[in-house]
């Protein structure tokens, strides 16, 4: 998969979720209008999840629950190891994901990278 495919997938997913009546629950960085586009986003690496995913926050994120998870193989920056607390700028597809709680009936913004596997 490449950035163009992931961008198209995210645009389609947004239309699908809005067609289901889902509402955007939070957009602290005003990214809703950029869903489906590739943007350079400053993120802070905060460590690994128990399942080994990379955990990032968008710079100046006020909500501690608004983190973004990336598969390590998709990150692709291997010149140096990631450092907890360090800021990185990376090209992400601005995407969306469903909130798993059915009573919320919403979605949130998600930083996406094309899957490498």
Question: Token digits for 65?
Answer: 């629950």
Residue 10 within any structural domain of the chain: yes
What pTM was computed for the model?
A: 0.86
Residue 117 within any structural domain of the chain: no
List, for residues 35-86, the tens digit of each pLDDT value: 999 999 999 999 999 999 999 999 999 888 899 998 888 877 555 688 999 9
Q: What is the pLDDT of residue 78?
A: 55
Contact predicate 76/93, CB 8 Å: no
Domain that includes residue 86, residue range: 3-112
Q: Specify the number of domains making up the chain.
A: 1
- Given the structure tokens 């992400």, which residue do they identify? 92
Q: What is the pLDDT of residue 4?
A: 94
């Amino acid at each position: 998969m490449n950035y163009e495919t992931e961008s198209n997938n995210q645009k389609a997913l947004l239309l699908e979720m809005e067609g289901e009546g889902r509402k955007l629950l939070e957009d602290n960085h005003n990214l809703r209008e950029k869903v489906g586009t590739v943007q350079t986003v400053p993120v802070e690496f905060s460590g690994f999840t128990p399942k080994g995913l990379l955990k990032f926050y968008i710079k100046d994120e006020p909500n501690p629950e608004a983190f973004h998870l990336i598969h390590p193989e998709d990150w692709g920056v291997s010149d140096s190891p990631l450092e907890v607390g360090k800021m990185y700028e990376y090209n992400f597809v601005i995407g969306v994901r469903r909130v798993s709680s059915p009573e919320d009936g919403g979605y949130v913004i998600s930083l996406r990278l094309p899957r490498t596997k």
